[in-house]
Structure 1
Amino acid sequence: MIQQESILKVADNSGAKIVKCIKVLGGFKKRYANLGDIIVISVQQLRNKSKKTSKVLKGGVFRALVIRTKNKYKRKDGSLFVLQENAVALINKQGNPIGTRVLGPLPKVLKKKKFMKFVSLSVGLV
């Protein structure tokens, strides 16, 4: 579960490394974000190698898709899976990814929630 002031890793090559959640989108007084939810973030730290070629700036405000959470996720068949980190991928206003690659695996939940652009950019599905 992601909430306001949560520190997250960025799992794409947009240039940001660490971001902070500002707001959870998707309803009146919605507090927590889970897999596949959209949040508003602020860039806290950039990657060292890409500071000159970065698509984002430090302190910039963007939207992001939650692609990994430490919280346990239960599937309809009864199986549980847990991921190791809280991670997001940055998106623009239209919902398209800012980066051209997504690092690490994505859960199959994103495929069902109509985020096929992210699934095609990722390494694999879990």
Structure 2
Amino acid sequence: RLCGRLRDGRSEWRLEAWQAHGSAFLHAVQFFASMKIFVRAGPMAGEKATQYKEAKLPRKPRVKMTRGVQTESRLRVVDNSGAKEVKVIGVKGFSGRLNRIPCAAPGDIVVCSVKKGKPDLRKKIVFCVFVRQKKIWKRRDGVNICFEDNACCLIDNKGDLKGTQISGSIPREVADAWPKVASQAYSID
């Protein structure tokens, strides 16, 4: 199996063979060597494997839930980070069909713009964890649950909370996916 990857403007090919012997493997190596293309089976001894991706924000394990917030929705910020209201401009990890509006459920990471709050935070793009929604969703045990507002709390690029306290309760699904949020929450429903 041959895998091609583009890295830093140059092509890098990696050759994987399920069997180390055989004429097909030998011919493939000779073919790529004649074309002067970089052929490599993996990192050499004493070398580090190259990291192609940056560190990502932690994502919650997907629990099937009705998604109650979409882009352009306004959310109340329930931590003491200084922001009061944010507008959703994107949902991290959402993949849908063409022209489908990104939507989020509690526990998702949303990309927001700060609309109300401290002057140094206003008009800034921030990451938030969506913690409460008005839309009713059904749990696996048959209980229907909803909250009185749509709310979120701000996080940094590593997934740590920017505030030190969260007002109000959060659902169990968010507490399971985000232990740091659960430790700062008032109560868990």
The normalised TM-score by structure 1 is 0.88
Q: Where does the alignment leave 5 or more consecutive residues of structure 2 unmatched?
A: 1-67
Match in the other structure for 2:170: 106
Q: Where does the alignment leave 5 or more consecutive residues of structure 1 unmatched?
A: none
Among 48, 67, 80, the alignment partner of 2:131 is: 67
Match in the other structure for 2:73: 6
SS in 2 for 1:19: strand
SS in 1 for 2:170: coil
Match in the other structure for 1:38: 109
Q: How many Å separate the matches in 2 of 1:28 and 1:79?
A: 28
Among 89, 101, 123, the alignment partner of 2:153 is: 89
Instruction: State percent identity of aligned pairs.
Output: 36
Q: How many Å separate the matches in 2 of 1:44 and 1:27?
A: 23
Match in the other structure for 1:15: 82
Report runs of 4+ in structure 1 exceeding 4 Å deviation. none
Contact 2:132 2:147 in 1 (8 A): yes
Contact 2:94 2:103 in 1 (8 A): no
| Deviation by residue 1:38-93 (Cα, 9 ceiling, x = unmatched) | 010000011xxxx48xxx51101110000000111211110111100000000000
CA-based RMSD of the aligned residues comes to: 1.4
SS in 1 for 2:142: coil
Match in the other structure for 2:61: none
Q: How many Å separate the matches in 2 of 1:111 and 1:40?
A: 20
Higher helix fraction (1 or 2): 2
Question: How far is the alpha carbon of 1:104 from its aligned partner?
Answer: 0.4
Larger radius of gyration: 2
Contact 2:130 2:153 in 1 (8 A): yes
Structure with the bigger RCO (C-alpha within 8 Å, sep 6+) is: 1
| Larger CA deviation: 18-27 vs 8-17 | 18-27
Q: How many Å separate the matches in 2 of 1:27 and 1:86?
A: 19
| Deviation by residue 1:1-53 (Cα, 9 ceiling, x = unmatched) | 1111111100100000011001111133472100100010000011xxxx48x
Match in the other structure for 1:24: 91
Contact 2:94 2:102 in 1 (8 A): no
